Amino acid sequence: MVRPRKAAALGGDEGNRRAELLRAAGRLFRQKGYEATTIRDIAAAVGMRSGSPFYHFKSKQELLKTVMTEGLSAALDAQAAAIAAADSPRAAFRAMVRAHLATVLGPGADFIPVLLYDWRCLDTDSRAEVKAIKDRYEALCAGVLVELKRAGGISDDGKLTRLFMFGALNWVSQWYKPEGEASIDDIADAAVAFIAPENSV
């Protein structure tokens, strides 16, 4: 067995190692799923031995929860900034779709499939914690739809419409390939046209 790097046995960059573990865990959970990923896999990915991740996280569960909460928090901040920068309801809607797709498809998006596939692996308390952030994200987006309807850009902004929209957008993570023909911007434009065609109302 090869040890990818010398252990930084005792020393400075504590948060660094923690962040490395989170990135590796996110990537492995995405690829193989939470259950199929072992602590040994994650440790090996950052050059640690099997017992060492427990120095940074008290359990495998906590690693899973943190992948989700930190990913979602970053997405929430990015979405809020994107919407705030827009100067019309339609611009805000475009910005929201773009920001959502950037989160779902961009680098560091590992937590998105993890959120979907491994939700059921979370214990009850962790679920509530993750759901709280997700609810704030969705409320932010719902507000954009309300404004868009008021401006005449869509005919309905109800719950079902909102869920269909998130379905169409989130599903992209199931089929998007970075090497494919469609860029993220192409997909965003098509999604805007699909959800709110300009001649629809």
Partner DNA sequence: CCTACCGATCGGTAGG
Residues contributing to the site for DNA (CB under 7 A): 7-9, 17, 37-40, 43, 47-52, 54-56, 58-61
Nearest to 55 by CA among 123, 7, 103: 7
Nearest to 145 by CA among 79, 195, 180, 200: 195
Question: Where does 85-123 have alpha helices with state H?
Answer: 89-105, 111-117
Helix (H, G, I), strand (E, B) or coil at 131: helix
- From the CB of 171, what's the least distance to its own copies, in Å? 3
- From the CB of 111, what's the least distance to its own copies, in Å? 16
C-beta of residue 133 within 8 angstroms of C-beta of residue 69: yes
Query: Binding partner of residue 170 among its own copies, DNA, none, CB under 5 to 8 Å per kind?
Result: its own copies
- DSSP 8-state symbol, 153: S
- From the CB of 47, what's the least distance to DNA, in Å? 6
Separation CA 64–CA 25 (nearest Å): 8
Return the number of the residue (124 or 174) whose C-beta is nearest its own copies. 174
- From the CB of 180, what's the least distance to DNA, in Å? 33
Which residues contact its own copies (rule: CB under 8 A)? 31-33, 35-36, 116-117, 120-121, 155-156, 160-161, 163-172, 174-175, 182, 186-187, 190-191, 193-195, 197, 199-200
Query: Binding partner of residue 200 among DNA, its own copies, none, CB under 5 to 8 Å per kind?
Result: its own copies
Return the number of the residue (46 or 101) whose C-beta is nearest DNA. 46
Query: Residues near 168 by Cβ (< 8 Å), separated by ≥ 6?
Result: 191, 194, 195
Return the number of the residue (80 or 182) whose C-beta is nearest its own copies. 182
